[in-house]
Each structure stands twice: as structure tokens, then as C-alpha cells.
Amino acid sequence: MLVLLVLAALPLIGIYLYNKAYHKRFVQFASIPQLPSSLVWGHLQIFDAYIKRGPRDRHPDLVFAEMLETLGKPPLMFVDLRPVNRPMVLVTSHEIAEQISKPSALFPTSVPKANLDYLNHVIGTTSILSAEGDHWKHLRKRFNPGFAPQHLLTHLPAILDKTLLFVDHLDKLARTNAEAPMLPLLVNLTFDIIGVVAMGVDLEAQRTEGQGELIKLFSQLLSCYLDDKADYPWWVIPNVELRRYRLGKRIDNIIRDIVRQKYQEYQRTTDDKSRSVLSLSFQDTNSLSPEVLHTTSDQLKSFLLAGHDTTSTTLSWVFYELMRTPRALKAVRDEVRKALGPDPDVNVIRSRLLIGLGADLLNKMPYMNAVIKETLRMHPPAATARTSPFGSSLTVRTPDGRSHCLDGTIIYNCESMIHRDPAIYGDTADHFRPERWLGDSHSASSKVPASAWRPFERGPRNCIGQEFANIEIRVIISLVVLRYDFIKVGMGELDKDDNGQPILDDAEQFRVKSHIYPTRQITIKPVDGMRMRVKFAASKV
């Protein structure tokens, strides 16, 4: 009897499951533009087919861009990655991105972050990067004073000292004419700087021999996130996950030792306390309880990651774009000479910046600012992924006035596409044009809505370190731009005419033999680590 009942129920169960799957695949998000989906695979197969159309290691943003092109570039695109991941909604319109990042009655600190558990071995479980609600508010309030504009210039000596070590490395490369990827050198430089800013510790990342243990372990750990399976669940990549766990544990132990030692120093100091991330973490604590030790260690790891990763990538693209754009290189050099003097000697520039005029001098370089802004527009190294819990009824409105419910999806504000929207940036959207950011209130830049440039994201969860990054990048450019010429080798190498001269294209940039593309390494990085040759600039020789 029972067997008969079960047999009778089977078709009903089958019909129920089919209807459920059909609804999820073809009905639930049908209002959002998307490529054809399949009942079994959703968009997994078609996504894979698009990946295969180009270099497999190109960043998913490039693959999404090609998919969007097929759909006629709508402001939203639905990509159903179930069962491998949650379904995703890609946002390419700045107006919709703004609806996600701004506070609302439904989400007072903006739409919650997507799950970052896969990064727990790097940033810990209580990180400011992944925290939500009151825990996040408490952390942000605690660290904000460390990033107040008046305070940031106190870091100038540390930035300058560490940049001089970087210059030593570049001098060696220039003397030997060796090629090297710039990114690892810039990673070491920015890691050294954030070590001082966050913890008041010299991490010795730039030592050629006997590099600091922490950066060695950090690099090894980050290299466990290099492929497209970076955020798969642990049971899909158990060996990688075990390696991440072991390295993460060793890093955590070192950081905890630093926290213990610094806590003792902190208690002994009676005068003005520093505003490093570490000192701010100790404020109002009576003892170094296991909980304080745990959260402090997590925040330090988070700042070490966020404070070096995107800044170094941005600098590598600045070197590249300046190399390709002779008018921009000339304008930046003229500006630096005017503000800091014609001597490319780094010690002279250092003294000029240190004699109390740092802020003034840096602010006198609007073209350099425009170069940085344009580099971040063309090559945004990060983005934000959010998620709206099931049943929360998060609805966004598209420019055509239609509403879409995004519950249960990962919402990805895709800066690389928002920043190249021709509706905002016109027919030069794909060209490097720092000039677009210069000029008075009637100029083109004033017509770009603030929300259409968002490399640091916007709203309450925007980047706490953005002003610091800006100062750091400006100082580093000031120290190296007169001294060296950077020459790309391999991908992105300049094309030459019969006389061996580079050729200008219509956008007034030098033509390249092949384009260098970005890849995914937690954030977005140039695929070859920005391989370059460094030469002393003519003015230096």
C-alpha cells in the first residue's frame, strides 16, 4: 500500500520540483535583462562559453561586459549562477549603484555586504570590511579620527622614508636595465607604509634580503586566492583551504604578539596617544581581554590588506598611463617642477615636502590629481558586492522608471562599467583623458554626476582610507616622476614606427602592440604584474 502511495506521489513531486525550478530560472527575475537561461544550468554554461571567447584569466568584469554588449548594454543584468553561487545582479548604471550604496529606511547603513567568509583567513571574522550593523558602526566611529584630513599629513615622514627605499630598488633596476614587474615592488612599498600607519611597526617588506616574516606570509596567503575558484566553498578546494588556514593562523599569531607588545607600551604612555589603528583599538579598554585581542588582530589584518592592495595597483596603472600619454607625463612633470623645484634628487623633494608645506604643495598639483582620478576611473581596482536578504523586498528603480525586486541576489556595483558609461563620459569613455577632470564649474567635469565616479564606493560603507591613499599616491608620484621613465615590456609594449619612434593614436596616446588586461586576484590587478623596464629620465642623466 505504502509503495503504491509513494509511486503515485512521485509524478506529483516531479511536477512540483519542475515548477519550482522553472519559477526560479525563468520567472523569478524575468523582468531583469539577461541572456537565455537553461533549466539545469541557469547561466553557468553561457557564462563559460563567454569566458572561452578570450583569455581565460581575464577578470570576470570583462566577461560580463561582453555579455552586456550582446544585450545592448542595459543598466542591470541578471546572471544565474545557481547552484554554484547565489544569483547575481550586475549594476552598470550609477543611478542604480547609488540606490544600493546609500542609507535607506530598509537598510540604514546601506544594503548589507555580500558574504566575505572566503576571506576569513586573511581578515578574520570580525573585520570592519565585513561587519554589519552596530558592530560595524562602532568600528567605523573608532577608526574615523585616524583618517581625519588634518591628521593624515602626520604620516608624511613615514611615506617619504619608505618611498626612498622604493627609489633604491628602482635605481638598481635602472642601472642594470633589468625588467621587473612593478606591482610586487609597489606592494612591498605600500605594505611598509600601512605597517607604520596601522601599527607603528616597520614590516621590512622592501628588504632585498631577509624580508619581514609578515609580508612573506601575507604574500603566500594572498597567492592562495589567485584563481577563479577563490571563493568556492572549502569542500570544493580542501587543500587550498587547509593551506589558507595554516598561513592565516601563523599571520594571526604574529599580529597578536604585536598587539600584546604594543598594549604594554600603550599603557606606559601618558602623553598624547597616537591615532594609529592599533592605538585607536585600545581606547577605552581596561584590559587586553581575549575578545579585544581577537577583534584588534582582525582589524589590523583588514587594514594591512585594504591599505596596500588597491593603492599599489593604482600606482602601477598610473605609471603605465603616464608612459603611454606623453602630454600627461609632461604636464605632471611641469607641475612637480613648479611646486617642488626642478631638482629630481629625491632627498631635495623630500625636504621640500617636509618643511611644513606638504599639504600646500600637494594641493598645488591639480593635473596630477586629475591623472589619479582618471586612472581610478579607467582601472578601478575594487568594487562592492552586496546582498539583500530573502523577504526584505529591496526594490531598485531603473532609469526607464521600472522597478525590480532584488531579494536573495548578490548585487554587484560594477565600477569598471559604471566608469565607462558613454551616456556620462561621452565618446571618450574608453580613453585616458585627465583633462576631463580639470576646469571651472562650466567644464565637462562638472557635468559628471558625483555618483558616476565611485572607485572608493559611496555612502556609509565607502573607503575610510581614500584621502590617505590620495596623499600616498601623490607623494610617491612626486618622488619618482622626474627621476625615471617607465617602459612597458611584453603586454602593453609600445608600437614603434620604422625609425623606432612610438606612434600617437587618435586619442593622443602611444599605440601599443597588445593590450594589457586585468585579472582577478581578490581585487582587480594587471595580469602580468605590470612588467616594466626603468630608465633614468633624460633630465636626471
Residue bearing cell 618622488: 479
Cα–Cα nearest to 43, from 93, 86, 97, 96: 86
State the Cα–Cα distance between residues 180 and 253, nearest whole angstrom: 32
Residue 468 near ligand HEM by CB under 6 A: yes
State the Cα–Cα distance between residues 16 and 35, nearest whole angstrom: 26
Residue 381 near ligand HEM by CB under 6 A: yes
Min separation Cβ 259 and ligand HEM, Å = 17
Min separation Cβ 433 and ligand HEM, Å = 19
On whether the CB atoms of residues 41 and 84 are closer than 8 A, the answer is no
State the Cα–Cα distance between residues 19 and 21, nearest whole angstrom: 6
Interacting span for ligand HEM (CB under 6 A) from 149-157, 265-273, 300-308, 500-508 = 300-308
Residue 455 near ligand HEM by CB under 6 A: yes
State the Cα–Cα distance between residues 123 and 295, nearest whole angstrom: 10
The residues that bridge with 484 in the sheet, in sequence order, are 536
Among 469, 471, 475, 530, binds ligand HEM (CB under 6 A): 469
Among 29, 191, 303, 317, binds ligand HEM (CB under 6 A): 303
Min separation Cβ 441 and ligand HEM, Å = 26
Interacting span for ligand HEM (CB under 6 A) from 50-58, 438-446, 457-465, 489-497 = 457-465
Instruction: Give the CB-side neighbour count of residue 383, counting CA atoms within 13 A.
Output: 30
Residue bearing cell 558574504: 115
Among 99, 297, 310, 478, binds ligand HEM (CB under 6 A): 310
In the three-class reduction of DSSP (H, G, I as helix; E, B as strand; rest coil), residue 35 is classed as coil
Min separation Cβ 280 and ligand HEM, Å = 12
Min separation Cβ 146 and ligand HEM, Å = 9
Interacting span for ligand HEM (CB under 6 A) from 264-272, 430-438, 460-468, 484-492 = 460-468
Bind-site residues: 463
Residue 412 near ligand HEM by CB under 6 A: no
* Touching ligand HEM, residues 95-154 (CB under 6 A): 113, 128-129, 140
The Cα-based distances of 320 to 106, 233, 503 in angstroms read 43, 36, 16
Residue 93 near ligand HEM by CB under 6 A: no
Using CB positions, name the residue nearest to ligand HEM: 465
Residue 459 near ligand HEM by CB under 6 A: no
Cβ proximity to ligand HEM: between 469 and 527 the closer is: 469
State the Cα–Cα distance between residues 154 and 106, nearest whole angstrom: 39
Work out the angle at residue 146's Cα, subtended by the Cα atoms of residues 140 and 150, and round it to the nearest 5 degrees.
Answer: 125
Quote the cell numbers at residue 129: 570590511
Residue 54 makes CB contacts below 8 A (sequence gap 6+) with: 62, 63, 66
State the Cα–Cα distance between residues 67 and 73, nearest whole angstrom: 9
State the Cα–Cα distance between residues 400 and 27, nearest whole angstrom: 21
Min separation Cβ 380 and ligand HEM, Å = 6
Residue 457 near ligand HEM by CB under 6 A: yes
Cβ proximity to ligand HEM: between 43 and 458 the closer is: 458
Residue 218 near ligand HEM by CB under 6 A: no
Cβ proximity to ligand HEM: between 33 and 124 the closer is: 124
Cβ proximity to ligand HEM: between 139 and 173 the closer is: 139
On whether the CB atoms of residues 419 and 94 are closer than 8 A, the answer is no
Cβ proximity to ligand HEM: between 128 and 173 the closer is: 128
Residue bearing cell 631577509: 210
Residue 307 near ligand HEM by CB under 6 A: yes
Quote the cell numbers at residue 421: 558609461
Interacting span for ligand HEM (CB under 6 A) from 74-82, 207-215, 318-326, 379-387 = 379-387
Among 311, 325, 369, 388, binds ligand HEM (CB under 6 A): 311
- Characterize the bridge pairing of strands 484-488 and 531-536: antiparallel
Count of residues binding ligand HEM (CB under 6 A)?
A: 24
State the Cα–Cα distance between residues 401 and 381, nearest whole angstrom: 31
Residue type, 170: L
Residue bearing cell 610586487: 184
Quote the cell numbers at residue 261: 607588545
Neighbour-count burial of 226, counting CB atoms closer than 10 A to its CB (0-12 exposed, 13-18 middle, 19+ buried): middle
Q: Kindly report the number of other CB atoms within 10 A of residue 137's CB atom.
A: 14
Min separation Cβ 108 and ligand HEM, Å = 14
Interacting span for ligand HEM (CB under 6 A) from 62-70, 357-365, 450-458, 501-509 = 450-458
Residue 384 near ligand HEM by CB under 6 A: yes
Interacting span for ligand HEM (CB under 6 A) from 16-24, 78-86, 438-446, 452-460 = 452-460
Cβ proximity to ligand HEM: between 75 and 381 the closer is: 381
Give the distance, in angstroms, between the CA of residue 475 and the centroid of all CA atoms in the same chain: 20
Residue 417 near ligand HEM by CB under 6 A: no
Cβ proximity to ligand HEM: between 206 and 314 the closer is: 314
Bind-site residues for heme: 463
Cα–Cα nearest to 372, from 250, 481, 535, 229: 481
Min separation Cβ 313 and ligand HEM, Å = 8
Residue 465 near ligand HEM by CB under 6 A: yes
Report the interface residues with ligand HEM, using CB under 6 A: 113, 128-129, 140, 194, 302-303, 306-307, 310-311, 314, 381-382, 384, 455-457, 461, 463-465, 468-469
